[in-house]
Structure 1
Amino acid sequence: MTFRITKEFHFSASHQLASLPSDHQCARLHGHNYIVEVELSADQLNEYGFVRDYQDLSLLKQYIDEAFDHRHLNDVLAHDRVTAECLAKHFFDWCKARLPEASAVRVSETAKTWAEYRP
């Protein structure tokens, strides 16, 4: 049996997918109210009955608030492939380096769309 927990974080930012054809709406500068959902998994609970204390995820909130919120993502990540898929991978790698229980990250740009990175 695997235990899973998730926590959601929000930020607003702009980006531009300049590699798309110029008539594509996402080639123009635009922004989103992003939702980042991190999932942590464990086969066994820790001594307190947690996969991980939710409070430990405050590191991710701080990172998002300082580096991503109200920023231009092409500048933050220094490339033009700033898609929800690439953001999910970026946040997963960041989390996995600090939280070994990280098992997936999902990123939403709109209420109806999600991209997920799960190794």
Structure 2
Amino acid sequence: MFELKVTTRFAAAHKLTMVGKQCENLHGHNWHVEVYVQGEKLDKGGVLMDFGIIKKELKEVINTLDHKYLNELEIFSEAPASSEHIAMYIAKELERRVNVDGIKVSRVSAWESENSCATYIAD
């Protein structure tokens, strides 16, 4: 099994309810995102997938979040804009865009600070 990791960053604001007093206020983060793509077979060039493809598609996904008030986005209309849901959204959206047989997005971590993150692990 091979696994690739690509990282990126974005800034956005949100507020969470029923989590904690500080989190219920409007606030922002400079999120650091780690995306892992996994597969068993390498291509003829000896790579699982071109990093450039992952980065391009990830950038498009991140552009839907960057410098936004996340609570106002349709993607968070039925689920809170928590780090957990952000990680899951990125994973599922990237999986949809990087549609290659034998390759899957295995996990995504959304770091809201340098010592706190949520990870979504795909099944």
Relative to the length of structure 1, the TM-score reads: 0.88
- Residue 111 (structure 2) pairs with residue 112 (structure 1): no
User: Which structure 1 residue ranges, 4+ long, deviate > 3 Å from structure 2?
Assistant: none
RMSD: 1.5
Q: Percent identity?
A: 29
Structure 1 counterpart of 2:58, one-letter code = L
How many angstroms does 1:71 deviate by? Answer: 0.5
Q: How do 1:45-60 and structure 2 match up within 5 A?
A: 45-57=42-54, 58-60=56-58
Distance 1:78 1:43 in 2: 33
In the TM superposition, 1:12-51 aligns within 5 A as 12-17=11-16, 19-20=17-18, 24-51=21-48
User: What's the CA shift string for 1:33-63, capped at 9, x where partnerless?
Assistant: 0011110111111111111101002121133
**Rounded Cα–Cα distance in structure 1 between residues aligned with 2:8 and 2:112:** 12
In the alignment of these two chains, the number of paired residues is: 115
Is the 2:61–2:93 contact (alpha carbons within 8 Å) kept by the matching residues of 1?
A: no
Match of 1:62 among 60, 74, 98: 60
The gaps in structure 1 that reach 5 residues or longer are none
Residue ranges of structure 2 left out of the alignment (5+ in a row)? none
